[in-house]
Amino acid sequence: MRHTFAERLIIIAPLFTILLALLIMPGMYFQVECYNWFYSLILPGMISLGCTLVAMKDKKMKNMGVISLPINLKKVWIAKILVCMVMTFIACFLLFLGTSAIGAITNYKNAFRIPMLNGFLGVIVLVVTFMWQIPICMFIGTKLGMLPTLLINVGAYSVFAIMAATESYWWIVPYSIPSRLMCPILKILPNGLPAVEESFTYKPELLSSSVVLPGVTITIILFLILTVITAKWYKGQEAK
């Protein structure tokens, strides 16, 4: 994947988010909007595009490059998933560094600050709660192509992240879990407002950290299930 657009996405996604937040919201809510825009729109889009590019790298040659190797195709598929996970982590970490540095330099009076520890924990949780989308985006990307994958994944996240994240059934909808967990960690509501009493859709229970462990556990289990299912499907490419 070296010198490809997928590799450039790692830098483009967080940089674009930071520049957009500086342009539109340079004041006291810079960090809030930066994080929220990233996990609400940019990150799902990056995963959709990146996973499709990684998955289709060998499809252009009908997988002949990997089928001819003395390697179990399940391991090849898992390796592709791990590459996408590393890409996601680097992009999230770059956003954390940029947001923290600019937030400290600007030092707006009465700015809504996100402590560095919370920010770092937030990006780790984002990587974990988004990673289930990697195998499913790779599968859809291989079957349908880049544009359908982007529309399906980003569209579903944009709808469910706001509709279900603040409801009691949030844990049933995987797309709502990242936004729900950012409420107690980053103190940001799914609609992008600070999690304070005067904000629209604010509820005191949204700040409870008791949701973090269940949310992380659900997404890890879902990731493992989807990885096993899609790896088995990819293994079947040998017979075609």
128: β partners: none
* Residue 223: partners with Cβ closer than 8 Å, 6 or more residues away: 131, 132, 134, 135
pLDDT band for position 135 (50/70/90)?
very high
pLDDT band for position 185 (50/70/90)?
very high
* Most confident option among 5-14, 186-195, 204-213: 204-213
Per-residue confidence (pLDDT) for residue 161, from 0 to 100: 81
- What is the model's pTM? 0.89
How large is the average pLDDT for residues 81-99?
95
Is it the case that residue 98 has pLDDT exceeding 60? Answer: yes
Is it the case that residue 134 has pLDDT exceeding 90? Answer: yes
CA distance 205 to 8: 39
Is it the case that residue 25 has pLDDT exceeding 90? Answer: no
How large is the average pLDDT for residues 53-78?
74
How large is the average pLDDT for residues 183-203?
87
pLDDT band for position 200 (50/70/90)?
confident
Q: Give the pair of three-digit tokens for residue 193.
A: 């407002």
Residue type for position 239? A
CA distance 83 to 10: 12
Distances from the Cα of 109 to the Cαs of 25, 164, 174, in angstroms?
A: 14, 34, 37
Is it the case that residue 192 has pLDDT exceeding 80? Answer: yes
Helix axes 73-106, 43-55, angle to 10 degrees: 150
Is it the case that residue 239 has pLDDT exceeding 60? Answer: no
Least confident of 37-46, 145-154, 157-166: 157-166
From start to end of 67-185, where are the E strands? none
CA distance 148 to 132: 18
Closest listed residue to residue 39, CA positions, set 124, 168, 130: 130
Is it the case that residue 73 has pLDDT exceeding 90? Answer: no
The answer to whether the Cα torsion of 26, 30, 36, 41 is positive or negative is positive
How large is the average pLDDT for residues 143-153?
91
How large is the average pLDDT for residues 159-175?
89
Contact (CB, 8 A) for 95 and 34: yes
* Residue 153: partners with Cβ closer than 8 Å, 6 or more residues away: 44, 47, 48, 133, 136, 137, 140
* Residue 65: partners with Cβ closer than 8 Å, 6 or more residues away: 58
Per-residue confidence (pLDDT) for residue 54, from 0 to 100: 85
Per-residue confidence (pLDDT) for residue 111, from 0 to 100: 63
CA distance 100 to 107: 11
How large is the average pLDDT for residues 206-213?
94
Q: Give the pair of three-digit tokens for residue 64.
A: 């002949």
Per-residue confidence (pLDDT) for residue 57, from 0 to 100: 74
Is it the case that residue 166 has pLDDT exceeding 80? Answer: yes
